[in-house]
Structure 1
Amino acid sequence: MSRFQDVNKAFALARKKYDGYYSQCAYFAGAFSRALVDGFGWPRELVTWERPGAGPVAHVEDALVLEEDSYWHLGLLLRLSEDTGPQDALRIAVRFKRAGERYLLELFPGVEFDLTEPTAVAFQPALDALYDELALHYERGLELFLENRAGKLRIPFSPPEPKPLPDSGTPEGER
Structure 2
Amino acid sequence: MIDECRADSAARIRVGRRDLLVVAGLPGAGKTTLLRSLRGVRPAVVLDSAQLYEALFARFGDGIPRRVYRAIVHPVHYARIVAACLLAPGVVVVHVPATRRAARGSLVALATLTRRSPVLCWLEVPPSAALAGQRARGRMIAARAFARHVRRARHPRWYLHRLGSLRGWRRVYVLTRTEVTGGVQLVP
TM-score range, shorter chain: under 0.3
Query: Of the two structures, which has the highest relative contact order with CA contacts closer than 8 Å and spacing of 6 or more?
Result: 2
- TM-score (norm: length of structure 2): 0.25
Structure label with greater radius of gyration: 1
- TM-score (norm: length of structure 1): 0.27
